Amino acid sequence: MGSKKDTESAQSSADADTRPSSIVIRPDGGLEAWMVVAGAWGSCFCSWGWINSVGVFQEYYEKNILKEYSPGTVSWILCLEAFFLVALTPLVGKLFDRYGPPLNCIVGYFDKRRSTAFGIVATGSSFPWAMRATALLILVVLTMTNLTVKSRIPLNPSPFSVKDYIVPFKRIDFLLTSFGNVLFAFGSFVPMTYLVVQAVSMGMDRRLAQYLVAIVNGSSTVGRLGAGVLADVYGPFNAWIALTYAAGILILSLWIPATNDASIIAFASLFGICFGAYAAIQPALVAQITPIADIGICTGLYFAVSSFSQLVSGPIAGHTLEASGGSYLEMKIMAGFLCLAGATSVLGAKLYATGYKPMAKF
């Protein structure tokens, strides 16, 4: 079956509803829709917001309670957090398809402003007492999430089948998109984990270095919001590809030669914008090439395959650091080229889906 036809079929299926009418009108706004966005934002704030702060924990563990362990060994703790966050998403996605709702319930509320809505959702991403205060904040925010998130589209439960987890990967566009995410997740998680440690090793004051994670996450808010708008105008694939290429280029051209405070902070700010865009547009990528009835399980599979990248990226980068005698150069080169390879794979998915039209909005 031709790729163009596959795309048209997926798009028409994505616009189909379980109601008998062939035309689905999504509100693209309104109090109920934006309350769902607010609730989904809370979920991302409590999950990915924590994961995106791993650099602080890596530096704290290395310099305090786990001083006798190597960076690669310490990073297993943080990478396991990210792994378990996304490894079970295929099961959760299937449960959503049957019982609902997940973050992707936004698909039922937004059409023209779908990527913008996903971008807004993605912006939510002493030591013992700091952890207790954080736990209380998460409890309050997740309570709001459970009260506001709901699915607009009627549920259509189907029996469990292993086939459901295999069929999506038979579609070339989904396979290439997922593979690209695996590569980019591996590469981008390296600076997220080691940026603070590397900055301290270059002579940055530890108190200032602790703010690098806040700088990355603060600038990522700009990327998440801006990427959603760009995706609605130019297409989610086009926006994702451009900004992930930019992330890889920044690692190779700015992080590698960064040796002083100003250059490291500049990298943190610019990389944060690109990383935020990457995180924000991911659900819109899956929605672009997936029938709406399969959104949950396909999103779960998309994230699950990348969980293995997030599991091993920190330890592999740490062992690369040790093997190079403490030089961060090889680790940075590896991260940069993996980001570029991931963007190239998703570009291949876009070309396949559009009939090899590089300038097409998609």
Q: What is the pLDDT of residues 157-181, one digit of tens each?
A: 666 677 878 888 999 999 999 999 9
Residue 210: pLDDT over 70: yes
202, 329 contact by CB (below 8 A): no
Mapped to the 3 state alphabet, what secondary structure does the chain carry? Answer: CCHHHHHHHHHHHHCCCCCCCCCCCCCCCCHHHHHHHHHHHHHHHHHHHHHCCHHHHHHHHHHCCCCCCCHHHHHHHHHHHHHHHHHCHHHHHHHHHHHCCCHHHHHHCCCCCHHHHHHHHHCCCCHHHHHHHHHHHHHHHHHHHHHHCCCCCCCCCCCCCHHHHCHHHHCHHHHHHHHHHHHHHHHHHHHHHHHHHHHHHCCCCHHHHCHHHHHHHHHHHHHHHHHHHHHHHHCHHHHHHHHHHHHHHHHHHHHCCCCCHHHHHHHHHHHHHHHHHHHHHHHHHHHHCCCHHHHHHHHHHHHHHHHHHHHHHHHHHHHHHHHCCCCCHHHHHHHHHHHHHHHHHHHHHHHHHCCCCCCCCC
CA distances from 189 to 24, 28, 186, 214 (A): 39, 33, 6, 16
Q: What pLDDT sits at residue 19?
A: 37
Q: What pLDDT sits at residue 176?
A: 96
Q: Between 135 and 74, whose confidence is greater?
A: 74
Judge whether 127 lies within some domain: no
Q: What pLDDT sits at residue 35?
A: 74
Judge whether 238 lies within some domain: yes
Rounded Cα distance, 157 and 293, in Å: 10
Residue 307: pLDDT over 80: yes
Kindly tell me the burial class for residue 228, based on how many C-beta atoms sit within 10 Å of its own C-beta (0-12, 13-18, 19 or more): buried
Judge whether 47 lies within some domain: no
CATH, residue 199: 1.20.1250.20
Nearest to 195 by CA among 245, 251, 247: 251
| Cis preceding-peptide flag for 128 (omega within 30 of 0) | no
Q: Which residues contact 319 (CB under 8 A, 6 or more apart)?
A: 70, 72
Q: What pLDDT sits at residue 214?
A: 84
Average pLDDT over residues 24-50: 65
Model confidence at 331, in pLDDT bands (50, 70, 90)?
Answer: very high
pLDDT in tens, 86-127: 777 677 666 665 665 555 556 555 666 655 655 565 555 444
Whether the model clears a pTM of 0.75, i.e. scores above it, the answer is no
Judge whether 211 lies within some domain: yes
Judge whether 67 lies within some domain: yes
Structural domains in the chain (count): 1
Residue 77: pLDDT over 90: no
What's the domain range around 170?
3-16+55-99+158-353
What mean pLDDT, rounded, does the chain reach?
79
Judge whether 310 lies within some domain: yes
Average pLDDT over residues 265-283: 92
pLDDT in tens, 227-273: 888 888 899 999 999 999 999 999 999 999 999 999 999 999 999 99
Return the percentage of the chain with pLDDT > 90, whole number: 31
Q: Between 341 and 146, whose confidence is greater?
A: 341
Model confidence at 73, in pLDDT bands (50, 70, 90)?
Answer: confident
Judge whether 136 lies within some domain: no
Judge whether 110 lies within some domain: no
Return the percentage of the chain with pLDDT > 70, whole number: 70
